[in-house]
Amino acid sequence: MPALAHKIGSLLFCPNCGTLLSLPKDGEPMVTCERCNHEEPATSYENIEITTRSHPEAFPSALRQKRKTQTKIHQGKVLPKVSEKCPACGHLEAFYEEKQMRSADEGSTILYTCVSCKHGWRINN
Residue numbers at the binding site for Zn ion (CB under 5 A): 14, 16-17, 19, 33, 35-36, 38, 86, 88-89, 91, 114, 116-117, 119
Residue among 89 and 123 whose Cβ is closer to Zn ion: 89
| Nearest-angstrom CA–CA distance, 123 and 115 | 17
Q: Under a CB-based contact definition with an 8 Å cutoff, are residues 99 and 111 in contact?
A: yes
Residue among 17 and 30 whose Cβ is closer to Zn ion: 17
- What's the closest the beta carbon of residue 11 comes to Zn ion, in angstroms? 14
Q: Under a CB-based contact definition with an 8 Å cutoff, are residues 17 and 25 in contact?
A: no
Identify which of 77, 79, 84 has the alpha carbon closest to the alpha carbon of residue 121. 84
Instruction: Determine how β-strand 6-8 pairs with β-strand 108-114.
Output: unpaired
Residue among 56 and 87 whose Cβ is closer to Zn ion: 87
Q: Under a CB-based contact definition with an 8 Å cutoff, are residues 79 and 118 in contact?
A: no
- What's the closest the beta carbon of residue 71 comes to Zn ion, in angstroms? 28
Neighbours of 40 (CB within 10 A): 22
- What's the closest the beta carbon of residue 107 comes to Zn ion, in angstroms? 25
Residue among 3 and 101 whose Cβ is closer to Zn ion: 3
- What's the closest the beta carbon of residue 120 comes to Zn ion, in angstroms? 9
